[in-house]
Structure formats: C-alpha cells, structure tokens
Structure 1
Amino acid sequence: MSTVAITFADELRSRTDDDLATMFKSRPDLVSPVPNDFSALAARATSTPSLVRVIDSLNLWHYQIIEAACALPEPFKKSELIEVTGDETAFALDYLWQIGLLYKEGNNFRTPTNLKLLIGEEPAGLGPVSAKKINFSILKDVPANSAEVLARLTWGPPRGQIANVKKPGAAIAWLLENEILVPIDSHTVVLPREIAIKLRGGKIHKELKNEPEELNGKKIDQKQIDLAAIANISTILRWCEEFLHNLSDEPPTALRTGGIGVRDLKKIAEHLGVDETCVGFVAELCYLGGLVVVDPDDQILPTSAFDIWLTKPAEEKWYSLVVLWLETSRASGLIGKVSDKNIAPLGPELDRAGVSLIRKTTLKVLQENTQLSPDLSSIQSVVKWFNPQKANKDFVEWNLREAEWLGVTGQGGISTFGMNLLTEKDVLGVAASMPKAVDHILIQADNSAVAPGPLTPELSAEMGTIADIESRGGATVYRFSEGSIRRGLDHGKTGDQIKTFLIKISKTPMPQPLDYLIADVAKRHGKLRVGTAHSYIRCEDEGMIQQILHDKKCEHLRFRKIAPQILVSDFELAEVIGELREYGYLPAAENASGILLSQPNLRRAKSRPKPPRIISEFNSPKDAVIQSAVKTVRAGERSRKVEPIVAGTSSNETLSLINQYIADRKTLMISYADNNGSVSNRIIEPISISLGTLTARDETTGELTQFRIPRINGVAPALTILENKADLDL
C-alpha cells in the first residue's frame, strides 16, 4: 500500500527520471551546483531566488493560472482550478507541475509556500479568505448604492479607505452589517476572496489570455530588409572604428564612477555626426568587446585588442560584438536618463536584471514574424505576454532601436543576417553582402572629399586623422578644416606629408583652396608653443603675444608677460593648449629642451581589457549534464537513506574488505571523515589502493576520487545495505 506524498521532497522522490530531467531542463539553476539529494533539491526549487527565475520565465497564461492556484484553498483538485480559470487550463497544468510550481498530494495539488509569498497576499486582486461561512444568497438583495461600491472592489484592489469604520456611509454600512465587507482597521475595509470570485462570475480573471495578440505591422520584402541591414552593419562597424580612433586622438578623462562625462560624450557625438544616445550605445558595444578601457590614469583609451579587431573580416568583427550584445545585462538606453544623477556610458549603473531575457524574447517575436516591421505598441504587447514580470516597454523599444543599429533588423524587420545569428549558422552571410572596400577618394573643390564606398582600414584611419566625417551612406563625405588639419599635424605629420598622401589616394586633382589651407595651418602650427613653467607660452611674433594677453576670452587663464615673447600661466599645460585651440589659436607643445612634441599615432591603454560583468541568465544545460544530475541526486538519496547502517571496521578489516571488493569489482558503501571531521556515507566503485590511498569512482559524482584509508571508518557492501534498509522501511 503506497503512502500519500505530503511534502514536495517526497513528491519529487516519486517522479521518474524523465520527469526530473524535464524539470532540470526548464530550470537550469537547479543543477548549478547539483543538489546532494531530494531534500536539497526541494529546498533549492522552493527557494525565493529559484522561484523568481522560473516565474520570470512564465508567459501571461501560465502566470494567470499560478495566480489562480495561489488563490484557492489547498489542497485543490484539478477540476476546482479549471472551474475558476477555463477548460484550457488542463493543458497547462502538466507543464506547471513538471517545472515544480505545483506538486501533487494524491489526486490533489499544492503550491510551494514561498510561491504564495512571491505572488502576494492579493493574487489577481483578490482579498483575504473569509474567516466565517458566507451566505451568498444575500448578494441578491444588495442596494444600488452598495452595488456601486462592490463594483469598484470586485476586480481589485479589494481594499477601500473610509473616514471612520464606526461611522460609515449608508452604502458601506449595509455591506458591513451583512458581512459582505470586513473591517481591517478603523479606516480600511476589504472584500473577502470568496465573495469577489462569486461577483466575478466564478472566475478569477476577467480574461484568461492563453495566447498572445496577433503582431501588427507593415509588410516589407526580405530583399529590402537585408539591403537596409547590411548598410546598418557597415555603419555600426565604421562608428566603432571612428569612436575608438577618436579616443586615441583625444582621450577623455573618466568620471569618478568610471564613465564618460556629458561634455565629452557630446564632443564625440559631434565628431561622429550622431546623437549622444547612439554614441553611448557604440561606447557600450566597444566596452563589451574589450576594445576600450579606463586606464589607471583615468584616461579612456582603446586597448590593444582594437588593433587585432581591425584586422579581422567584417563578418567576424560584427559577430564578435553582436553576440555579446545578445547576452549583456547592460541597458544602454538608460544613458543620459536623470534619476538622482546622470547615467553615463561605461559606468556601473547600467546593469538591469532581465534585460537579456527581454532582448531575446523581442528577437524571437521578430523571428516568428518574418518580413514584418511591427508597430511599437503591438510588439510591446506581445513581448509583455511572453514575459509579464519583466517586460518593460522602454526595454522593448531600446532593443528594437539597437537591433536596427546593429543590422540584426533592417527597416524594422528581422534580417537574414539576424536570423542566421539567432539560429547559430556557421556562415552569417555578412561577408558576401558587404560592399567591397575602396582605396581611393574624390577631392572636391569645397574642401571636402567623397569616398565612394567603405575605405580600407589603413586609409580610413589616415583620413579620420586629417578630416572629419560630414555625412554617411553608400558613400562617405569627409570635410577638411583647420581643426582636422591641425589634428594631423599634432600626430607628427608635416604639411607636405598630408599633401602627398591626399594626392596619392585621390582620383581628382587637389584644389587650390585645400592646398592653401594645409599650407596656412602648417605654417602657423607650432609657431605658438606651450611648455611647463607651470605653463608658459613663447612666440617669435610679439604681436600674437600681445593679442593673447589682451584677449578677453583668455582672461581666466591669468597670463603674465615676463618677456616680449613669453607669457606664463598657473594652469596646466594640457588645459592651456585646449583653451587656446578653442579660441582659434594653433599652439603646439614643447618639452623642457624646447623640442616640439607630437602625439603618437596610436595611443593605447596600458591596462588589459576589462569587459563589464554580466548578470547572467542560466542557459539550458546539455542532455549529458541533465542525465548526470539525475543520477547524482538519486545516488545521493540512496546514500542518505543508508547513513545509519554502515558499521565501523578496524583498519585491517577495512583493507581486507576493500581489496576483496576490488578483486570482485563490487560496489561498496564507506563511512568517510572529510577534512572538517564530518562523517558521510559514500557509494563507490573501488579501483586500486596505493600509498595508503584508495582510488575509486564516486557514484554520486561519477568522477574518480581519492580517499585516505585512515579516514575510512567503516565498509559494507552497498547492495546488502540497500536491501536491509528496504526491509527496515517495510
């Protein structure tokens, strides 16, 4: 005669190996690490962190059923749950039982205690269970004014505030007198759960949504989607390169929290020709890939990994970044949002639990609705059905925007490249669709140049040093200016070298205005020099010295003239140079010996890449891991059951018995003391003895383990112990 399971642990023991494997697959956190036995498994499965994870994975339908289950008195029958929900619930019950949110007690069901605490005291907006027997017939006689009060409380929240429970209005007084409402304190009344369910027509929810709404949007041809997506991929790779080259040229100083400041972010955005939101995302993308880091001196610089990344093919570059974006728990859409303080890219405030889950759900919805650019409100609603506990509307919007920037989507629809990425294809198709790199430009008469396609990495880096990007698309337009030419000169180039480079790569002749611009800036560059006094300025042109001294924009630098050609300042060299350049002067730095200093072509971080931590989501373990976990729990349970039965043996008896079991290749049970002195029983398969150590396969872990012979307190055949234990149980 079988006993009825009354605890979750007992019910788990009665499940088959296939049932346990299904639960482990759906809740991978239960096998990280593997529990020792069923009691430990039950404790893990009903712990708050584990329940939070599994609740977050429920769709709206399953969540509504769990709400209904928590609202019923326990134990409840399957028919009782179906009565307050719907006939379709029968199909979901088995799944909810398999993942351990319900467990059986004979033919009835129960929910774990912690699950009720997480769902809350008012599941589905229902009040507390009535302490008295309710006369439902009184509901037919409710006055009209009292019915209005009930209508407001029926679908929740079930609590209402009144001035004084001893002096209520006529409508509430009748409800209190007939015990339809119950006073909680002197100002609060509540509608009991049973009455609310009766008023709801015997159902717990207004509508049980067993499937998501249909996704609405605009139909787009896949070819158009892919054309837009490949352009986006080309653009995001160029943005990353430009961003990192810009950090190399003019590295910003990190905030105290480690992020990029508002002023620096705006400056980089102007250089790239995009808004700060986009730059923040690019910065985060490079941060994830280990391409940028905050150095010990607080400068934000590219890492040496950037140089390796530049040499890779476009498809490999893109994959190395987008695969990290899929997994990251950082929400770059929060950048610039003001709460108590500004949130900065690369800072620590961007981590949000569940972001990766929402991102994957959003992409899954797009994947199931190909050639469709969804309406924002429609896809937000669908994602909300799949993840009712985590689906933040802003997160969905940001994920769609970032997917478009990355080329995972094009014009809002999932691209072939995005599909290949999500289905883990070996070839993503990016390389074949990418436009070929060009090795030339076309210089125009208005100090601009057009690159008729993506430039080779070498030319792109050189052009980024001496020109600013004005517009992007199939072709890139560069603009030469005084500032951009000065940047090239700061990198150690001469005016003649810049001219030679442009003449070599341009298919059109260099126009005279650009020739004059380069010559003029090269002539003035370095004429004014800044050194360290704290700082000093020297210039052979005394007129320029006088101009700076009387320039009202420079008054705050507090220059003092100590010689006809020399000014000194209390401000740091870098600050003086930066301010003078901002006011239209073109100073260059010099060292203590008066030698002109030029910045290195490549400025890289001294520290190694430090990609941000990720609030990880547990991935479904492989079948081999699941089967091993089932075996481990079963073995641990057998070991726990026979723990009191292993008798002590002397050292000689222990050695003799072990050698015998090695020869007979039998499984045995040992009582073993660990390093902390605690004793446990282990089922093992002995293999050999050497130098006072037994080598055996531990049945719990399946691994070869070494046991010190002096620590073995007792030995007995495992099969005999199990049989004896079974007899005792009977």
Structure 2
Amino acid sequence: MEIRSYADYLRALDDAALIAIFSYRPDLITPVPPDIASLAVRASSAPSLARAVDGLNKWQLQVLEACAVMNEPFTEKEIASVTEKSALFVLPGLIERGLIYQDKDGLRVPSTLREVLGNEIAGLGPASLGTLKLKKLEEAPDAAKKVLDAMFWGPPRGAISDLKKPSAGVQWLLDEKFLIAFNQQTVVMPREVALYLRGNKVHRQLENVQPSVTGTTRDLRNVQLAAIANITTFLRWTEEVLNFWAQEPATALRSGGLGVRELKELSAHLGVDETCAAFVAEVSYLAGLLTIDPDDKILPTHQFDIWLTQSVSVRWQSLASAWYISSRMSGLVGKEGQKNVAPLGPELDRSMAAATRRLVLQLLNENSAIAPDLDSLHQSAQWLAPSKRSGGLQLDYVTWTLREAEWLGITGQGVISAYGIDFLQGGDNESINTDLPQPVDHILIQSDNTAIAPGPLEHEVAQDLALIADVESRGGATVYRFSESSIRRGLDHGRTGEEITKFLAKTSKTPMPQPLEYLIADVAKKHGKLRVGNTASFIRCEDSALITQIMGDKRLEILGLRKIAPEVLICGHDAAEAMNVLRSCGYLPAAEDSRGLLLSGPRIQRAQSKARPPRIIGEIDRPDEIHIQGALRALRTGEKSSRKQSTMRNIATEALGSLPRTTANETLELLSDYLQNQPSTSLSIGYADNNGLVSHRIIDPLKLSAGSLVARDHATGEVQTFRIARITGVAAL
C-alpha cells in the first residue's frame, strides 16, 4: 500500500516537480522507467534513496532523521517542534528530492528510507507497542534515573548481567515499560521515553550552520608562481615517466598493476617519493597515455606522441580532467593496512573519489583568499557531505585531494590558483601558455662532467640530452651528469661518439671540458668491440686479449662461457641476460644480429594495443536539460500507454465475464458476422496461450484466413494473428 501511495503522489506531480526530482536524483532516469509505477519502485528502493541521502548536508540530514522518527502522517508543525522553526525552510528541498511526500492525510517518508538511515536513527530506539505513562518518569527512583541518563541520548541499548535478576533501577523501568527486554542480557529504551527525556527534541545539537573554513593568507603573486612551477614540473614528470618506460618497459603484475620494485625504480628515476611517482603513473594511465599490453608490458601509447605535439594548456587540461572525474585514488598506494594495492591495478576504485574532489575544490574556490587548515576544511566538507554509506567523509581523502591538486598546479602554496579556478569554470586555460617560462635551447657544461639547464629545455634538446646524461638534481635549474653508463646508453641508441661531441659543443654556452671529451672518446672506442648475439648466445670480439680477460674473470663464471674460436665465446644465457651481466662487471658490450650487424639505434617502444583507461564507477552525472526533457516525455508516454492497457484489460474482463463459452465453429460464425456487417466494431476476446492461460484482448478484426483471425491488438498497436481454436469467447464493446 505504501508503494501505491507513493506512486499516486508521483502521478499527481506536474512536469516542473518531476524535473526537480530528476535533477537531484539522476539515477531515476538512468535508464528511463517505462511508467510512473516503475519510477515509484525505483525511487523508493534502498540504493536510490542512499544516493539521495548522500547528497544532503548535515542540517538537511538532521531534519530528514526527525521526519523518519515521527509517527506518520506528520505535519510541518510537528517537525518544527522537535527541531526548530528554520527546519520549515529545509522541508521543501526534501520534498523536491522525493525523500518526503504528501498524501491526503499529511507528510510521509518512503518506508525503505528508515533502513537506509539505520536501525537507531538519531540514537532512538523502536516505538513502544503500548501506551506509556510518561509523567511517571518524574517519580523514578534514583537508581532508575542513572540508567535513564546513560541511555536517553543513545545508544538506546543497555547491557545487563541477567534479565531474571536485574538491578532495582532496571526492574522498576521494566515494570513501567520504560525499558523493553531485547534478550537475556540486553534492554532497549522505547523512542517515546527518549524523546520525552530529551525535551521533545530529536538531536542534542542542531548543526544548521556550515562550519567556517579558516587558514592563512598568501601573496597572490607567489601563489601563481608556485602553481605555474607545479604545472611545469608535473608535465615534465609525465614526459619523463613515459620516455623511461618507452626505453625500458616495466612488467605488470599478474593481478594487474605496477610492482613494488618497478615503482621504486620509477621513483628513483624521477627523484620523488613513491606516492608521487604512483600518482604520475596513475594520471598518465587515466589520460590514455600509457597502457598494459597483452604481454603484460607497460608501455606508452601512440596517444602520447599526439599529446607531445599539443600546446601546454591542452596537455595539462587532459591530465587534470582525467584526474578530476576519476573514481581511482592513488593515495591508497603505500597506505598502512592497504596491502596488494598497486598503481595501475584494479584495487584503487572508490565510489566517493570524484565527489570528494569536487567538494574539496569547491571549498577551495569559495575560500580562494586563504590556504585552508586541513581540520577546518575537513569539518566543512563533512557538514556538506555527511556520507552515511561510508561512515563520514574520510580525512585521508581530503588530504590526498589537497596534495594531488598541489602537484597538478590547481593550487599553489595551498591556495587555489587562477588556473584552477579557470579549470573548474570550464575555461581553456590559455593563460598557461603565456605564463609558462620560455624554454631554453642551451646548457652550461661544467668541469666536473655535469651540465646545468638554466630553465625548461626545448623538447628536442631535452630528448637528446636524456639519452646521454642522467638527472642529478631538479629545481629552477636542472643538473645533468655525464658518466660512462649514460654515454653508453646514447651509443646504444644509435649515436656515435662524434655525434655526441658535436651535439654538446653546439648546445653548450660554455666550452666542453677536455675530461668529458676523453670520456666520450674512450667509451665510443670500447663500445661495440665486444658483441653479443643469440645462439643461446654468442660473444664475439676481435681483441684476443679482451677474450682472454673475460675467460679469466671469475665474476663471469655464472655465464658458463666456452671458447669455440679465437674470437668467439658461447653462453647458455640469452643475449639480453649476458649483456646485463657483462655490463654489471664493467664491460661495454653491444648487441648484434645473426648477420653480424651491430644492433644500435633508437629503441623507443610503443604499446601495440589501444589505450584502455579504467572505467569510472559509482558516479552518475547530472543530466542536462535536453536529457531530462526527453526522459519526461518518454515517462509521460509510457504512463498513458500503461493506463490505456489497464483500462482495456478492465473492459475486457467485464465483457468476457458475461460471455458464454463458444466452440470454434460458433466463434468463427460470430467473427464472420462482425466482419461482414459491422467491420469497424472493436471486439473483446479471450485468448488462450500455450499454457492454457486465458488473457483478455481488445482487437479490431481485419480478416479471416485459414483458421486464423488477423486483427490489430489495441494493447500493442500491432497487427497480430489469432488462431480461432484458441479464442474462448467474443463480444462487442
């Protein structure tokens, strides 16, 4: 009966009221229900009501809890009496959301709502089944008053040692029905008793005002400088991560995601902690710039190459937007108690992630003049989103959002930046292109085999320098160090010693020191002298002295080398493994193919499969006006159709109730008569299905053919064929 009453209420609403409900609760039209009855079932279901409750602030939730504990039907005056008069301004918003509805007797709530709010709403127990003499509470003995004082603000349950031997105070309360025995060790306080002792108030403290956000002021110019520096840094991190994995792809875990060892390597390469490295990898994954191939290799996609050609503002927006709407939380990586949670893995989804980001950034935008204190921001966010399903908005979620917004440059020094405000308002962030430091095309080589980049390098210079030098420190200027291994990396990528020297001489504003020239020449001379290929693998070298040295090196006994010619050794390990061992022992081998050709050249790899960004869970976007209007039209049309079918069934039932059962021949004669003499008459027939169940149909007969009747069914509007033998009776409407 309750669902039917709720459906009648929804049927009585005009278009504006239904549009308001759909705006607050988009899940009601995702997908569009066939009629109002189906809409009522969905709107009163626990999952839909839970989503609607999650959209309330603390004051709205308190008013709704007051409504849920009242006896139905209740009035606005009764709600004001158990809360305060300002609650009257909250009730219309709850009605708009369909959490309260009006019938002829007063206000009601969907019964499932009480299950969503919990068994002990506002710390109140169940209603008493009988009439209580509440005035007698004033005569309660002192022992009973102590029990009452401990229970009336909740929880309404109390533990006792044995129901058969209660204390004097508990015994008095049980006798007067002010406590109810739940089991042998538990008693419960009826709701009426608690409300009486609370002074007819549902809550001890009404939270009808949002807590203010406090913080410290920052110089706006410094905020902008910090934000643009963060944007520059994050874009560089993203590019470095993808270039790093393009050269040396990481291998994903069997369960999916990035392993601990690979994460540590990435963290060391970027020069940041593991939480930051995990976040950079996650954002790249969300933006479709990297993916996990079927062979479990983590590689950049071809989208990365397109991304590199775009303007800085477009590149930044693609990353920030992917983070903003995602349901994944990279902050869970490395959190204590969160085992087996890996970046890029399947365990990072949280349904409240995107809603938390929107809420935190909204508060930052509303308090754009200060860097908020974490505690005050968390309290304000909790008031806006009590989030009953998850037990309250977690402090960790707010902390991670602030940290990640700072990394991205949405904030600078804790204050939302102009770029962040423009981003939230849907702007194009073109100002990033002009505010960003102009890239430089030169470096300053030092005498200690280091080079200083005095600003962000142009893309081509940065790519070439990354092949032959390792980043030693970052900041306003980046310091690169040249070493034997870094020069060898450049040679492995197809550069010659002469090309490296020319590049550095051309790019550096300072003369190239002689030790660096000697280092490059020495490594280039040794590179490729020792070559490794696959037999299982072979090692070939024209320098017989070097062959003798390798055979005598005890560190290489693990390779199981065997000399088969003056210049050739064979090994039981594959070529890649043999090269790694040789390099770790200080040798500089190069790879060659089966034809003896030196395998040196660019080894930039790309994923073979398309990017597969993770799906977003737990969020239903607010529909636009066009979607809502379309859903409303479909719902109204479906309701008319359902009403028409119901009316036709009732007419058919009444008509067929008086029909005599006829044989097939008699039915055929009646149908022939109607078709010849009254062809425009609609008929009511009974029709048996394969299981013998008779349904009532309203039809317009068209013709008889081979023992069947061809007619248009009013319920479906389609032309159908009915077998004469299955028609149980015929009557005109």
Range into which the TM-score falls when normalised by the shorter chain: 0.7 to 0.9
1:461-476 equivalent positions in 2, closer than 5 A: 461-476=463-478
Conserved in 2, the CA contact under 8 Å of 1:417 and 1:428? Answer: no
Q: How far off its partner does 1:607 sit?
A: 0.9
SS for the counterpart of 2:102 is strand
* Counterpart residue number, 1:703: none
Letter of the structure 2 residue corresponding to residue 317 of structure 1: R
In the superposition, the TM-score normalised over structure 2's length comes to 0.85
* Counterpart residue number, 1:407: 409
Conserved in 2, the CA contact under 8 Å of 1:60 and 1:387? Answer: yes
Q: How far off its partner does 1:616 sit?
A: 5.2
Q: How far off its partner does 1:525 sit?
A: 2.7
Letter of the structure 2 residue corresponding to residue 91 of structure 1: F
Q: How far off its partner does 1:507 sit?
A: 1.2
Q: How far off its partner does 1:679 sit?
A: 11
Q: How far off its partner does 1:217 sit?
A: 0.7
Give the stretch that moved more between structures: 185-194 or 135-144: 135-144
Measure the CA separation in 1 of the matches of 2:479 and 2:67.
63
* Counterpart residue number, 2:331: 333
Distance 1:558 1:16, change over 3 A: same
Deviation readout 1:507-534 (Å, 9 max, x if unpaired): 1111122222222322333334333243
1:272 aligns with 2:270: yes
* Counterpart residue number, 1:63: 61
Distance 1:488 1:119, change over 3 A: same
* Counterpart residue number, 2:188: 190
Deviation readout 1:133-192 (Å, 9 max, x if unpaired): 223233334444544443333332222333322233455444434433322111222222
Conserved in 2, the CA contact under 8 Å of 1:370 and 1:414? Answer: yes
Deviation readout 1:21-59 (Å, 9 max, x if unpaired): 111111112122222221111112112222222122111
SS for the counterpart of 1:469 is strand
1:429-440 equivalent positions in 2, closer than 5 A: 429-440=431-442
Q: How far off its partner does 1:373 sit?
A: 0.5
In the superposition, the TM-score normalised over structure 1's length comes to 0.85
Letter of the structure 2 residue corresponding to residue 617 of structure 1: E
* Counterpart residue number, 1:233: 231
Conserved in 2, the CA contact under 8 Å of 1:421 and 1:428? Answer: no
Letter of the structure 2 residue corresponding to residue 447 of structure 1: N
Conserved in 2, the CA contact under 8 Å of 1:291 and 1:303? Answer: yes
* Counterpart residue number, 2:121: 123
Conserved in 1, the CA contact under 8 Å of 2:94 and 2:100? Answer: yes
Measure the CA separation in 2 of the matches of 1:359 and 1:464.
35
Conserved in 2, the CA contact under 8 Å of 1:127 and 1:190? Answer: yes
* Counterpart residue number, 2:51: 53
Letter of the structure 2 residue corresponding to residue 409 of structure 1: T
Measure the CA separation in 2 of the matches of 1:619 and 1:680.
42
Deviation readout 1:576-615 (Å, 9 max, x if unpaired): 4334434544333222333322253421111111111111
* Counterpart residue number, 1:710: 719
Give the stretch that moved more between structures: 17-26 or 559-568: 559-568
Give the stretch that moved more between structures: 160-169 or 503-512: 160-169
Residue of 383, 386, 399 corresponding to 2:384? 386
Distance 1:196 1:491, change over 3 A: same
* Counterpart residue number, 1:614: 616
Deviation readout 1:236-269 (Å, 9 max, x if unpaired): 1111001100001111111112211111111111
Deviation readout 1:390-416 (Å, 9 max, x if unpaired): 522111111111111111111111110
Measure the CA separation in 1 of the matches of 2:129 and 2:546.
92
SS for the counterpart of 2:250 is coil
Residue of 321, 324, 327 corresponding to 1:323? 321
Q: How far off its partner does 1:98 sit?
A: 0.8
Give the stretch that moved more between structures: 639-648 or 330-339: 639-648
1:31 aligns with 2:29: yes
Distance 1:387 1:570, change over 3 A: farther
* Counterpart residue number, 1:419: 421
In structure 1, the gaps of 5 or more residues are: 658-670, 683-706, 714-730
Conserved in 2, the CA contact under 8 Å of 1:334 and 1:343? Answer: yes
- Identity of aligned pairs, percent? 48
Conserved in 1, the CA contact under 8 Å of 2:313 and 2:428? Answer: no
1:355-504 equivalent positions in 2, closer than 5 A: 355-389=353-387, 391-504=393-506
Distance 1:278 1:121, change over 3 A: same
SS for the counterpart of 1:620 is coil
Give the stretch that moved more between structures: 540-549 or 599-608: 540-549
* Counterpart residue number, 1:218: 216
Distance 1:680 1:369, change over 3 A: farther
Measure the CA separation in 2 of the matches of 1:271 and 1:534.
32
Measure the CA separation in 2 of the matches of 1:343 and 1:575.
30
Measure the CA separation in 1 of the matches of 2:51 and 2:83.
24
SS for the counterpart of 2:164 is coil
Q: How far off its partner does 1:17 sit?
A: 1.4
Q: How far off its partner does 1:474 sit?
A: 2.8
Q: How far off its partner does 1:708 sit?
A: 8.9
Structure label with greater radius of gyration: 2
* Counterpart residue number, 1:286: 284
1:508 aligns with 2:510: yes
Deviation readout 1:537-557 (Å, 9 max, x if unpaired): 4445666667666767666x3
SS for the counterpart of 2:616 is coil
Conserved in 1, the CA contact under 8 Å of 2:419 and 2:429? Answer: no
Give the stretch that moved more between structures: 120-129 or 536-545: 536-545
1:693-708 equivalent positions in 2, closer than 5 A: none
Give the stretch that moved more between structures: 319-328 or 630-639: 630-639
Conserved in 2, the CA contact under 8 Å of 1:232 and 1:407? Answer: yes
1:105 aligns with 2:103: yes
Conserved in 2, the CA contact under 8 Å of 1:231 and 1:473? Answer: no
Measure the CA separation in 2 of the matches of 1:209 and 1:681.
59
SS for the counterpart of 2:451 is strand
Distance 1:34 1:590, change over 3 A: same
RMSD over aligned Cα atoms: 3.4
Conserved in 2, the CA contact under 8 Å of 1:59 and 1:386? Answer: yes
1:623 aligns with 2:644: no
Distance 1:516 1:712, change over 3 A: farther
Distance 1:710 1:171, change over 3 A: closer
